[in-house]
């Protein structure tokens, strides 16, 4: 890799940071971000995931955003701006990975496809697992495939794969792919492979020490949060699960229309990736390692139940890399024709781009977790900032609130009532006994209804549409009045006094 390539990658990073930074401030809040950022807030208060609150993911992510809060203050904006760093780094890594095979203009074209994909720009600049996991995995790929191969780069490859697993545990399923590639790079020399594997596993093991730490703190809590909850969270039968996964596969391949995931880029690179595999079989020439990572990721993302289409945002960069790397000879021998065709396809793929930008930043049409355009206004960061500011003005510092979505408490001096730190608490606690619910910090609906009857919840906060069924009946029956309203968001308390708007 020539030195000037790194300078160019820095410019790519800066350009992408401007783009993703802007998107991060405009993108409507995603539901899961609420519990990720609130987990980070709890960590800044000295709490420990799994031990002090329910956190159903690997342990690294909330510490990343706790660091963001430390340097930028606790707010949605600081979390989002920090999140935008990851896709910018990922884009720069894609540039570096493509430069050796398709040269400068081809690499830039690949970056443009990456930055404008509906699987990338609405998801990676959010405070979720997608951005960091892709970044760490791309860095790991960079170290293991670089031309100047050394034990230091092998160690770094293992280290960054471990960081990927620290963000989301199921990425450990990629371990056989990396070991297989190290065997190839060792030229089938067992002695050389043992040396490579040692340094790779050393880096991996070092990065995975947080898992060991939390496991030793409480093996049961670690198991439930990382695996146990995920094995029981779906109520679908096997047949229903398979049917749903088939529908997801149809959406990904472009064979089933989806308002949530429009455009053609993913299906374009999905079929391109498949064609690369067919050509490789026919010519008996192995594809790039990116091809096999894409295969591994594709399989892994179908394992969780339920499977969601947005999970596959982590697969898209590797589809893209595999397709571009397979066109190495075309870009080198017929660069003008290849770039012209690539630019034409890119422009065609932008036909849905402006619609997607508007959907994810303004209307919320078809966006997961936003049922109507009216409610989209209440997932804008400006609205959430208003809610947090007025909550601070309305309630005493340290007051306990039962939020039906913890995202409302970001940037406040309020505390979530025990068990309400995560909006999946009812789903997690539904099949657990009382002792297990207490140990894992989750709740069951009947338990919450009992708390309301006993007056143990001072305040309840959430969307009006979430106050329904037995919950709203018990709140009304026990004198929980609407104390404050922000659009469709209500704060209810037992006080009959309605707080004046600040």
* Final residue belonging to a domain, choices 294, 328, 363: 363
Is the CB of residue 356 less than 8 Å from the CB of residue 118?
A: yes
375 within some domain: no
Is the CB of residue 291 less than 8 Å from the CB of residue 322?
A: yes
Query: Pick from 456, 30, 51, 392: which is nearest to 216 by CA?
Result: 51
pLDDT of residue 495: 62
> Which residue range is the domain that position 455 belongs to?
380-493
pLDDT of residue 373: 83
Cβ-proximal residues to 463 (8 Å cutoff; 6+ apart), any chain: 375, 378, 404, 405, 488, 489, 490
Is the CB of residue 53 less than 8 Å from the CB of residue 39?
A: yes
What is the 8-class DSSP label of residue 53?
B
User: How far is the C-alpha of 131 from the C-alpha of 79, rounded, in Å?
Assistant: 12
Residues 59 and 110 in one domain: yes
User: How far is the C-alpha of 447 from the C-alpha of 285, rounded, in Å?
Assistant: 61
User: How far is the C-alpha of 148 from the C-alpha of 488, rounded, in Å?
Assistant: 58
- Collapsed DSSP state (helix, strand, coil) of residue 461: strand
pLDDT, one tens digit for every residue, the chain (502 residues): 666 689 999 999 999 999 999 999 999 999 999 999 999 999 999 999 999 999 999 999 999 999 999 999 999 999 999 999 999 999 999 999 999 998 888 999 999 999 999 999 999 999 999 999 999 999 999 999 988 889 999 999 999 999 999 999 999 999 999 999 999 999 889 999 999 999 999 999 999 999 999 999 999 999 999 999 988 777 777 888 889 899 999 989 988 887 677 778 899 999 999 999 999 999 999 999 999 999 999 999 998 888 889 999 999 999 999 999 998 877 777 778 878 888 888 888 888 899 999 999 999 998 888 888 888 999 999 999 999 999 999 999 999 999 999 999 999 999 999 999 999 999 999 889 999 999 999 999 999 999 999 999 999 999 998 999 999 999 999 999 999 999 999 999 986 444 343 3
Is the CB of residue 134 less than 8 Å from the CB of residue 167?
A: no
Supply angle C-alpha 291, 292, 297, rounded to 5: 100
The residue with tokens 């003008």 is 336
User: How far is the C-alpha of 78 from the C-alpha of 94, rounded, in Å?
Assistant: 26
- Collapsed DSSP state (helix, strand, coil) of residue 128: coil
Residues 359 and 414 in one domain: no
pLDDT of residue 412: 97
Residues 298 and 394 in one domain: no
374 within some domain: no
- Please give the backbone phi and psi of residue 13, each rounded to the nearest 5 degrees, phi first: -60, -45
pTM listed for this prediction: 0.94
DSSP percent split of the chain into helix, strand, coil, nearest 5 = 70, 5, 25
Residues 425 and 355 in one domain: no
pLDDT of residue 369: 84
pLDDT of residue 501: 38
Residues 264 and 386 in one domain: no
User: How far is the C-alpha of 465 from the C-alpha of 260, rounded, in Å?
Assistant: 21
Residues 97 and 128 in one domain: yes
Residues 413 and 338 in one domain: no
Kindly report the number of other CB atoms within 10 A of residue 221's CB atom: 22
Kindly report the number of other CB atoms within 10 A of residue 224's CB atom: 23
Based on DSSP, count helices (H) and strands (E) in the chain, helices before strands: 25, 5
Query: Pick from 383, 399, 368: which is nearest to 488 by CA?
Result: 383
368 within some domain: no
Query: Pick from 419, 399, 314: which is nearest to 35 by CA?
Result: 419
Kindly report the number of other CB atoms within 10 A of residue 92's CB atom: 24
Residues 323 and 247 in one domain: yes
Structure tokens belonging to residue 231: 């094995």
Structure tokens belonging to residue 26: 């405009």
Is the CB of residue 140 less than 8 Å from the CB of residue 164?
A: yes
Residues 278 and 342 in one domain: yes
pLDDT of residue 236: 77
pLDDT of residue 502: 33
Bridge partner list, 460: 402, 492
First to last CA, the chain: 59
pLDDT of residue 238: 81
Residues 171 and 122 in one domain: yes
498 within some domain: no
* Final residue belonging to a domain, choices 317, 338, 363: 363
1 within some domain: no
Query: Pick from 229, 227, 246: which is nearest to 238 by CA?
Result: 246
pLDDT of residue 2: 66
373 within some domain: no
Kindly report the number of other CB atoms within 10 A of residue 75's CB atom: 18
446 within some domain: yes
For the purposes of burial, counting CB atoms within 10 Å of the CB of 179, is it exposed (0-12), middle (13-18) or buried (19 or more)?
middle
Residues 356 and 407 in one domain: no
SS3 assignment for 370-382: CCCHHHHHHHCHH
- In whole angstroms, what separates CA 424 from the centre of its chain? 16
* Final residue belonging to a domain, choices 336, 363, 390: 363
* Domains identified in the chain, total number: 2
Which phi-psi region, left, alpha or beta, contains residue 369 (left: φ > 0; alpha: ψ -120 to 50)? left
254 within some domain: yes
Residues 392 and 326 in one domain: no
């Amino acid at each position: 890799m020539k030195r000037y390539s790194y300078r160019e990658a820095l410019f790519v990073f800066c350009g992408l940071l401007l783009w993703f930074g802007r998107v991060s401030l405009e993108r409507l809040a995603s539901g899961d971000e609420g519990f990720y950022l609130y987990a980070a807030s709890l960590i800044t208060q000295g709490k420990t995931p799994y031990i002090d609150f329910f956190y159903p993911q690997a342990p690294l992510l909330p510490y990343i955003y706790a660091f963001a809060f430390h340097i930028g203050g606790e707010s949605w904006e600081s979390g989002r701006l920090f999140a935008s760093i990851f896709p910018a780094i990922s884009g720069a890594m894609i540039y570096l990975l493509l430069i050796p095979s398709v040269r400068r203009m081809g690499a830039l074209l690949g970056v443009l496809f990456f930055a404008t994909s509906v699987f990338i720009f609405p998801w990676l600049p959010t405070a979720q697992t997608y951005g960091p996991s892709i970044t760490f995995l791309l860095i790991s790929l960079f170290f293991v495939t670089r031309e100047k191969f050394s034990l230091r780069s092998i160690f770094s490859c293992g280290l960054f794969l471990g960081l990927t697993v620290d963000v989301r545990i199921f990425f450990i399923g990629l371990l056989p792919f990396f070991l297989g590639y190290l065997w190839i790079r060792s030229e089938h020399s067992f002695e050389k492979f043992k040396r490579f594997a040692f340094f790779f596993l050393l880096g991996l093991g070092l990065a995975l020490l947080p898992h060991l730490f939390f496991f030793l703190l409480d093996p049961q809590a670690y198991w439930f949060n990382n695996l146990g909850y995920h094995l029981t969270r779906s109520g679908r039968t096997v047949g229903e699960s398979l049917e749903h996964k088939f529908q997801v596969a149809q959406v990904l391949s472009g064979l089933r229309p989806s308002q949530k995931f429009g455009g053609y880029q993913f299906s374009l690179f999905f079929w391109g990736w498949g064609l690369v595999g067919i050509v490789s079989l026919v010519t008996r020439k192995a594809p790039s390692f990116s091809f096999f990572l894409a295969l591994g990721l594709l399989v892994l993302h179908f394992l969780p139940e339920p499977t969601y289409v947005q999970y596959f945002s982590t697969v898209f960069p590797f589809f893209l890399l595999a397709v571009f790397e397979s066109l190495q000879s075309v870009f080198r021998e017929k660069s003008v024709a290849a770039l012209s065709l690539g630019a034409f396809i890119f422009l065609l793929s932008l036909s849905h781009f402006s619609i997607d930008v508007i959907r994810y930043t303004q209307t919320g049409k078809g966006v997961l977790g936003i049922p109507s355009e009216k409610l989209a206004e209440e997932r804008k960061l400006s609205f959430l900032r208003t809610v947090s500011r007025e909550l601070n003005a309305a309630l005493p510092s340290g007051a306990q609130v039962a939020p039906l979505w913890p995202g409302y408490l970001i940037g406040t001096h309020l505390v979530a009532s025990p068990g309400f730190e995560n909006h999946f608490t009812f789903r997690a606690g539904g099949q657990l006994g009382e002792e297990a619910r207490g140990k894992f910090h989750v709740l069951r609906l009947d338990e919450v209804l009992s708390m309301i009857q006993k007056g143990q919840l001072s305040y309840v906060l959430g969307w009006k549409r979430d106050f329904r069924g037995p919950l709203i009946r018990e709140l009304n029956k026990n004198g929980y009045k609407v104390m404050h309203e922000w659009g469709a968001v209500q704060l209810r308390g037992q006080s009959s006094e309605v707080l004046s708007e600040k």
